[in-house]
């Protein structure tokens, strides 16, 4: 059970949040122009990194805001937290 | 048997406070301060239970929570009964009743003991190998295995005790109140840290508190006296909380720990009512100091498990702390100096020591010398090769060890005894440290794993950090604490420490015997009866990973998680396989450190609080009118309203008929409702629903289907345009929360440019739905001011209205296919409006109906229920709902997926209607659908998703999904059931009123 520093509310228990998978996967602007393979790439393919991972979290039982988290999946240490639309910290 | 072995008064035992208790139905006496184990030993009882596999007699081995053998059942056949409790941890109280486990008919004569003689055919992996084949026999085997195995009995009555959870936030948590923990807690508290000190025992001071030996002194005081003063001082700090009888169960990341505080287990049962039994502490600490101590290792030799064989340190504690001699003729067997501390202490108390057997050949320490000076025979360079005595040890055989330690040589010497103390050195208790993600390193000199890399802000001090002698502990503690707490000074600088302990040790994981290994039983895991032979067999059979060896031999898999023998298992594996111990790594220590009761885990979440449910504002009316309820998500929904002893079928038939013939009323308050506002609300709906929304005029309603990005149906419901930039969306009852979070996700992350705000208003409104040919008449009386003409208020439209002073939103929408109205009012008025409808509707036989009738009525119309007729593999096209998928819209969630190669397959499962040949035959939901029963293997085409008997059509109707079903209209299919085959015909899923005439009736 880690602690997450919600950029809107501050530090809260993990149980208040929900993970939303890999971050920075942008929904294609023109899906209808994509091939099956290109669409499948967006739809299904996700990395599963051991180490530094950029991921989305939402403060479900709090402000309901989505934001991004940089987490080391091998030890759950959170390196950075930043709002949606903000530039990810280096290391990407 | 009843001879008392109480040797000397101890300040920890109150001999003026006599306590009677029962063990295996016989009454015994002990004193306040005793554990069940110490009281039994004082009564000269060693035999406590039988071992798991071979049913060998077993006794008390330790004096702490690491006990593998002496586990008992408490208060058998009562509601407070509890299995697998360690006798070494139970503080006795008046009326305590304990009994042996894993034996039948009793501990002295146990039928399962025959396994001991069968042991040559019960090797490691025996269960895996033997009972695997043939697979169909497993059920029979399992019955016998379960009958003869198993430790203790679970309670069958409800738990009468109360449990609770509590959060604690602190600056420094100190785990363990031994000498290191006390120093740490005092230092932290003195420097202003909000400190919590916990210990699993009922007293503070660990093993130092009962050490009265002249050989261990701090500033010229006997170590226990010095520590006593420290303990008195720490009690004065207001910023230091001390919790005894509190065992840390789990150490998670980010310094989040779970601990169990035991509050009433030491009280007589009649004093426990209305008190909290266990409290689960959820501790968040900025810093953690592990002072968890160390566990003495046993020695692995032939027949090392008999009652009367204890850890040397346990014998020491029973004598010093409890004033109990474990035997009258004691022998000690050791590979290090620890057993000599015991020998000297016992000797001081007048307890007889027959001999000390030391596997070290050359030993030269003060403790050894003093032992010899006390005329105790010390055999140096010897090993125990065997023991005898069935229910209690009566003899040890010793032989000389060869120089390399691999053979027992010379002639056998036999020594009579009634107690054998063993000491194989010490293992740091690093369980919690590793749980937290810490990494260990192996220290070759004394073969121990010690903390190396920490995963959070924590530190280990004392013997859990591999510092086993008093001088090591006292010289390193100040340094470690200063650095960890970032302070300048502690109270423990330059202490004068006298410690006679010599660190030399001769480590032999498996001691040799005069017998071949195959003929020995050298136990490594006492509780699970895993022997050194089993481990070697596993290696011969090709297992290499320690995790695999563990599972194959079950070493370390008991309730004690192998606290005593895991290191030896590792050592034997490493020696046999020729691998380095440091590289082998340890098996994973998992929470809880000691077992937790279920009550502790669930806390207050029992009974009606186990899974709290949501009630609609009209719930009380349903209860009063005898509704049966159904769980939908977290909601309790009225399922049907049986009248005059009706069963569900009859009630639903009556309700369904009434709704179509005259009027029905449904509590629809549970439907999810999301308020959508903003200048881009219409555009937002365009993107999240499959159909077009821009042209929906104000005051109109529209049904929408929502997909996942993969094209599969996710939710559905009616959305109403209240104003230019204001909509109210309804969702399925179960989908309300997930739909809202999905919409928020898109809004915040993909389309932040849209000006849209979402608010959940499910709980704000109560929704009363009135349907049927007489619904218009009823509503016209409930809301007389509302113009209900089809011109003014057509199907799929909305109006604001008032019932007296109550504002309401009325929608003319229908999920039954009948003319129908939904009245939404502020939740607190829900019941009043419902009752008003009932009163007015009385003359029209208005009939309340529940979810079952609702499902039947919509099935007659072929309306889907998301989650019943769909799973996460149905597209709108599969549902034959192409009409709702906009061809014109450039994009919406899931659109692109509707023409992936997989989603355009013709042979996907598609929703169809099913009619049975015999109109009275009702299909079972979930039944498989096939075309050809004779083909092998039979091809499953699909399954029945909804099935009812329609009282309005007077025949059975069903919906189902069938591969390629869209093109199978009129085709005959078969539903094979257990005893029969049911013939069905594929039909249009709309069974009733295809022209929708009833909507405007
Ligand atoms: Zn927040």
Find the length of chain A.
92
What is the whole-number distance in angstroms between the Cα of residue A61 and the centre of ligand 1? 8
Numbered residues of chain A with Cβ closer than 8 Å to any chain B Cβ: 1-3, 18, 20, 26-27, 30-32, 34, 36, 39-40, 43, 56, 58, 60, 64-66, 75-76, 84-85
Whether residues B749 and A66 touch (CB distance < 8 A) is answered with yes
At residue B348, what are phi and psi to the nearest 5 degrees?
-60, -35
| Collapsed DSSP state (helix, strand, coil) of residue B510 | strand
Given a cut of 70, the residues of chain B with pLDDT beneath it are 1-3, 8, 103-105, 107, 109-150
Q: Name the minimum distance, in Å, from the CA of B108 to any CA of chain A.
A: 48
Considering its fold, how many domains does chain A have in total?
1
**Separation in Å, CA of B612 to nearest CA in chain A:** 17
Name the residue facing A31 among B252, B752, B895 (closest C-beta).
B895
Residues A56, B749: C-beta atoms closer than 8 Å: yes
Record: contact A36-B901, CB cut-off 8 A: yes
Distance between CA atoms of B453 and B935, rounded to whole angstroms? Answer: 63
Do the Cβ atoms of B879 and B865 come closer than 8 Å? no
Q: Measured between CA atoms, how close is B746 to chain A, in angstroms?
A: 10
Question: Is residue B199 classed as helix, strand or coil in its secondary structure?
Answer: coil
CA-based R_g, chain A, Å: 15
Closest to A58 (Cβ–Cβ): which among B709, B741, B901? B741
Q: Using CB atoms, pick whichever of B256, B709, B900 lies closest to residue A36.
A: B900
Instruction: Judge: B896–A56 Cβ closer than 8 Å, yes or no.
Output: no
Domain-located, residue A32:
yes
pLDDT on residue B142? 57
Chain A positions in Cβ-Cβ contact with residue B891 (cut-off 8 Å): 30-32
Contact B207, B317 (CB under 8 A): yes
Q: Tally the residues of chain B.
A: 1001
Q: What is the CATH number of the domain that holds A24?
A: 3.30.2270.10
The domain in which residue A62 lies consists of 3-83
Q: Which helix or strand (DSSP H or E) is residue B575 part of?
A: helix B566-577
Domain architecture of chain B: domains with CATH:
1-158 (3.10.20.440), 162-294+428-499 (3.50.50.60), 321-422 (3.50.50.60), 666-857 (3.30.1360.120), 862-1000 (3.30.1360.120)
DSSP helix, strand, coil percent of chain A (3-state; round to 5): 15, 35, 45
- B390-428 in b/e burial notation, b at 16+ Cβ within 10 A? eebbeebbbbbbeeebeebeeeeeebebbbbbbbbbbbb
Ligand 1 centroid to residue B756 C-alpha, Å = 19
Query: Which residues on chain A are in Cβ contact (under 8 Å) with B254?
Result: 1-3, 76
Kindly determine whether residue A1 and residue B256, on different chains, have CB atoms separated by under 8 Å. yes
Chain A residues within 8 A of B455 when measuring between CB atoms:
75
> Exposure string (b/e) for B50-85, b if CB count within 10 Å is 16 or more?
bbbbbbbbbbbbbbbbbbbbbbbbbbbeeebbbbbb
Distance from CA of A6 to the nearest CA of B (A): 15
Is the Cβ pair B749, A2 closer than 8 Å?
no
Q: A31: nearest CA in chain B? A: B896
3-state secondary structure of B968: coil
Is the bond preceding B595 in cis, omega lying within 30 degrees of 0? no
Cα(A8) to ligand 1 centroid in Å equals 5
C-alpha A66 – ligand 1 centre gap (Å) = 8
Q: Does A34 sit within 8 Å of B900, measured CB to CB?
A: no
Of A2, A34, A84, the CB nearest to B254: A2
By the CB < 8 Å criterion, does B709 face chain A?
Answer: yes
Residue of B748, B892, B900, B901 to mutate, testing the A interface (most A Cβ within 10 Å of its Cβ)? B748
Mutate: best of B711, B896, B902, partner A, most A CBs <10 A: B896
**Which DSSP string do the residues of B838-888 spell out, in sequence order?**
HHHHGGGT-EE--HHHHHHHHHHTT---TTTT--TT--TTTTT-GGGS-SS
Half-sphere exposure of A2 (CA within 13 A, CB side): 19
Tell me the per-residue pLDDT of B71-122, one tens digit each, with 9 for 90 and over: 999 999 999 999 999 999 999 999 999 999 876 667 676 666 666 666 665 6
- Contact between chains at B254 and A39 (C-beta distance less than 8 A): no
How far does the CA of residue A1 sit from the closest CA of chain B (Å)?
Answer: 6
Please give the DSSP secondary-structure letter assigned to residue B325: -
CB B292 within 8 A of CB B378: no
Distance from B756 to chain A by nearest Cα, in Å? Answer: 14
- B758-772 in b/e form (b: 16+ CB < 10 A) is bebebeebbbbbbbb
Centroid of ligand 1 to alpha carbon of A72 (angstroms) = 21
How far off is chain A from B528, nearest CA to CA, in Å? 32
Contact A25, A42 (CB under 8 A): yes
Residue B144's pLDDT is 55
How do B195-198 and B162-175 pair as beta strands? Answer: parallel
Q: How many helices (H) and strands (E) does chain B have?
A: 23, 50
DSSP codes, B125-141: THHHHHTTSSGGGHHHH
**Per the CB < 8 Å rule, is A43 touching B750?**
no
Contact B581, B442 (CB under 8 A): yes
Touching check for B744 and chain A: CB below 8 Å? yes
Region class of B585: left (phi > 0), else alpha (psi between -120 and 50), else beta: left
Using only C-alpha atoms, what is the Rg of chain B? 38
DSSP state of B87: T
For B251, the closest chain A residue by CA position comes to A1
Question: What is the per-residue pLDDT for B363?
Answer: 86
Distance of CA B220 to the CA centre of its chain: 50
Q: How far is CA B37 from the centre of its chain?
A: 29
- Report yes or no on A37 lying in a domain: yes
Give the Cα separation of B467 and B341 in Å (integer): 17
Ligand 1 centre to CA of A6 (Å) is 5
Asked if omega into B592 is within 30° of 0 (cis), the reply is yes
Task: Determine, for residues B253 and A76 on separate chains, whether the beta-carbon distance falls below 8 Å.
Answer: yes
- Considering the domain boundaries, does residue A91 fall inside one? no
Q: Is residue A16 part of a domain?
A: yes
Contact of B454 with chain A, judged by CB distance below 8 Å, is answered with no
Question: Would the CB atoms of A30 and B891 count as touching at under 8 Å?
Answer: yes
Spatial CA neighbour of B740 closest among B660, B676, B821: B676
B897 in A contact zone (CB under 8 Å): yes
β-partners of residue B448 are B443
Give the contacts of B664 (CB within 8 A, at least 6 positions apart): B655, B658, B770, B771, B772, B816, B818, B846, B847, B848, B849, B853, B857
Assess whether pLDDT exceeds 70 at residue A67: yes
Q: Which of B541, B881, B443, B915 is nearest to B691 (CA)?
A: B881
Terminus-to-terminus CA distance in chain A, angstroms? Answer: 25
- The answer as to whether A89 is a domain residue is no
β-bridge partners, B30 = B19
Ligand 1 midpoint to CA A64 (Å): 6
Segments of B77-161 assigned E as strands = 82-86, 97-100
Give the three-class secondary structure for B39: helix
- If one counts every other C-beta atom within 10 angstroms of the C-beta of residue B805, the result is 6
Across the interface, whether the CB atoms of B744 and A3 are under 8 A apart is answered: no
CA dist., res. B547 & res. B698, Å (int): 67
Residue A53 lies in a domain: yes
> What is the distance, to the nearest Å, from the Cα of residue B364 to the centroid of all Cα atoms in its chain?
51
Residues 6+ apart with CB under 8 A from A89: A70, A79, A80, A82
Strands B497-499 and B216-218: antiparallel
Classify residue A54: in a domain, yes or no: yes
Q: State how far the Cα of B655 lies from the Cα of B664, in Å rounded to an integer.
A: 7
Determine the pLDDT at residue B1.
43
Q: What are phi and psi of A70, to 5 degrees?
A: -105, 115
CA dist B975 and B515 (Å) reads 68
CB-nearest to B437 from A20, A36, A75 is A75
Q: How far apart are CA B527 and CA B555, in angstroms?
A: 9
The answer to whether the beta carbons of residues B74 and B86 sit under 8 Å apart is no
Say if the Cβ atoms of B741 and A34 lie within 8 Å. no
Which helix H or strand E contains B353, and what residues bound it?
strand B353-358
Residue A92, domain member (yes or no)? no
Q: How far is B255 from chain A (nearest CA, A)?
A: 9
Q: CA dist B201 to B241, B313, B761, Å?
A: 16, 16, 52
Task: Output the pLDDT for position B127.
Answer: 56
CB B300, CB B511: distance < 8 Å: yes
């Amino acid at each position: 059970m880690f602690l997450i520093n919600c950029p809107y509310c501050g530090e809260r228990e993990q149980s208040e949040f929900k993970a939303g998978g890999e971050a920075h996967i942008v929904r294609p602007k023109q899906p209808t122009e994509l091939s099956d393979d290109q669409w499948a790439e967006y739809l299904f393919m996700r990395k599963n990194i051991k180490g530094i991972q950029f991921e989305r979290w939402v403060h479900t039982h709090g402000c309901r805001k989505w934001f991004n988290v940089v987490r080391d999946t091998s030890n759950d240490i959170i390196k950075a937290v930043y709002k949606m639309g903000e530039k990810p910290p280096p290391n990407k | 048997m009843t001879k008392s072995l109480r040797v000397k008064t101890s300040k920890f035992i109150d001999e003026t406070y006599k306590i009677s208790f029962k063990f295996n139905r016989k009454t015994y006496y002990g004193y306040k301060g005793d554990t069940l184990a110490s009281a039994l030993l004082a009564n000269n009882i060693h035999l406590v239970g039988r071992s798991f596999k071979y049913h060998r007699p077993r006794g008390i081995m330790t004096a702490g929570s690491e006990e593998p053998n002496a586990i008992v059942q408490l208060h058998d056949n009562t509601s407070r009964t509890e299995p697998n409790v360690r006798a070494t941890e139970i503080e006795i109280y008046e009326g305590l009743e304990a009994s042996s486990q894993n034996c039948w008919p009793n501990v002295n004569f146990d039928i399962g003991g025959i396994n001991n003689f069968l042991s040559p055919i019960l090797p490691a992996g025996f269960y895996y190998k033997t009972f695997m084949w043939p697979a169909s026999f497993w059920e029979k085997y399992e019955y016998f295995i379960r009958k003869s195995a198993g430790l203790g009995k679970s309670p069958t009555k409800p738990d009468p005790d109360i449990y609770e959870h509590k959060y604690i936030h602190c600056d420094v948590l100190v785990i363990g109140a031994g000498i290191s923990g006390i120093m740490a807690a005092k230092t932290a508290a003195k420097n202003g840290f909000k400190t919590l000190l916990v210990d699993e025992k009922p007293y503070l001071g660990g093993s130092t508190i009962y050490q009265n030996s002249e050989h261990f002194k701090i500033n010229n005081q006997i170590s226990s006296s010095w520590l006593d003063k420290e303990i008195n001082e720490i009690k004065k700090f207001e910023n230091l909380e001390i919790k005894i009888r509190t065992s840390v169960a789990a150490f998670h990341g980010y310094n989040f720990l779970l601990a169990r505080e035991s509050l009433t287990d030491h009280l007589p049962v009649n004093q426990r009512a209305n008190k909290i039994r266990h409290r689960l502490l959820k501790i968040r600490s900025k810093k953690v100091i592990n002072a968890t101590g160390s566990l003495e290792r046993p020695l692995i030799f032939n027949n090392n498990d008999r009652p009367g064989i204890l850890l040397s340190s346990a014998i020491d504690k029973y004598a010093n702390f409890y004033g109990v001699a474990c035997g009258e003729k004691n022998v000690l067997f050791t590979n290090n100096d620890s057993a000599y501390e015991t020998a000297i202490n016992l000797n001081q108390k007048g307890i007889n020591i027959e001999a000390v057997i030391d596997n070290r050949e050359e030993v030269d320490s003060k403790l050894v010398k003093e032992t010899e000076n006390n005329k105790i025979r010390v055999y140096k360079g010897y090993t125990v090769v065997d023991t005898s005595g069935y229910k209690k040890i009566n003899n040890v055989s010793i032989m000389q060890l060869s120089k390399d330690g691999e053979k027992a040589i010379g002639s056998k010497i036999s020594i009579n005894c009634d107690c054998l103390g063993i000491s194989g050195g010490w293992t740091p208790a690093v369980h919690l440290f590793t749980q937290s993600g810490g990494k260990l390193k192996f220290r070759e000199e004394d073969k121990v794993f010690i903390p190396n890399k920490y995963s959070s802000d924590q530190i280990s001090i004392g013997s859990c950090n591999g510092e086993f002698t008093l001088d090591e502990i006292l010289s390193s503690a100040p340094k470690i604490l200063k650095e960890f707490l970032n302070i300048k000074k502690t109270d423990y600088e330059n202490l004068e420490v006298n410690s006679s302990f010599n660190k030399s040790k001769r480590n032999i994981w498996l001691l040799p015997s005069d017998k071949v290994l195959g003929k020995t039983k050298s136990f490594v895991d006492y509780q699970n009866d895993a022997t050194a032979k089993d481990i070697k067999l596993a290696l011969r059979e090709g297992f290499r990973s320690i995790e695999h060896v563990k599972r194959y031999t079950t070493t370390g898999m008991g309730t004690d998680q192998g606290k005593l023998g895991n290191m030896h298992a590792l050592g034997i594996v490493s020696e046999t396989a020729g691998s380095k111990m440091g590289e082998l790594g340890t098996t994973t220590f998992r929470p809880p450190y000691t077992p937790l009761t279920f009550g502790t885990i669930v806390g207050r979440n029992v009974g009606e609080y186990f899974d709290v449910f949501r009630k609609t504002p009209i719930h009380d009316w349903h209860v009063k009118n005898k509704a049966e309820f159904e769980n939908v998500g977290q909601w309790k929904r009225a399922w049907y309203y049986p009248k005059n002893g009706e069963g569900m079928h009859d009630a639903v038939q009556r309700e369904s008929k009434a709704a179509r013939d005259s009027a029905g009323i449904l509590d629809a308050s549970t439907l999810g409702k999301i308020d959508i506002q903003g200048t881009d609300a219409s555009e937002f709906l365009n993107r999240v629903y499959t159909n077009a929304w821009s042209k929906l005029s104000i005051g109109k309603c529209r049904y929408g289907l929502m997909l996942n990005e993969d094209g599969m149906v996710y939710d559905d419901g009616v959305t109403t345009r209240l104003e230019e930039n204001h909509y109210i969306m309804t969702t399925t009852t179960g989908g309300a929360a997930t739909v809202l979070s999905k919409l928020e996700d898109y809004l915040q992350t993909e389309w932040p440019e849209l000006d849209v705000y979402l608010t959940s208003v499910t709980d704000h409104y109560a929704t009363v739905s009135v349907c049927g040919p007489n619904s218009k008449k009823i509503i016209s009386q409930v809301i007389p001011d509302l113009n209900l003409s089809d011109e003014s208020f057509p199907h799929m439209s909305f109006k604001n209205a008032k019932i007296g002073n109550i504002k309401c939103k009325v929608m003319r929408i229908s999920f039954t296919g009948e003319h129908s109205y939904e009245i939404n009012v502020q939740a607190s008025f829900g019941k009043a409006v419902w009752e008003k409808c009932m009163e007015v509707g009385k003359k029209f036989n208005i009939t309340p109906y529940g979810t079952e009738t609702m499902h039947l009525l919509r099935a007659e119309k072929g309306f889907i229920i998301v989650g019943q007729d769909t799973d996460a593999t149905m597209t709108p096209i599969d549902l034959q709902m192409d009409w709702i998928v906009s061809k014109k819209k450039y994009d919406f969630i899931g659109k692109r997926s509707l023409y992936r190669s997989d989603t355009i397959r013709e042979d996907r499962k598609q929703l169809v209607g099913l009619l049975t040949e015999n109109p009275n035959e009702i299909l079972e939901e979930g039944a498989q659908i096939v075309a050809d029963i004779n083909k092998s293997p039979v091809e499953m085409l699909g399954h029945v998703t909804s099935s009812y008997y329609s009282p309005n059509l007077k025949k059975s109707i069903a919906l189902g999904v069938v591969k390629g079903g869209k093109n199978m209209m009129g085709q005959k299919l078969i539903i094979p059931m257990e005893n029969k085959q049911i013939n069905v015909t594929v039909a249009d899923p709309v069974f009733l009123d295809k022209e929708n005439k009833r909507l405007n009736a």
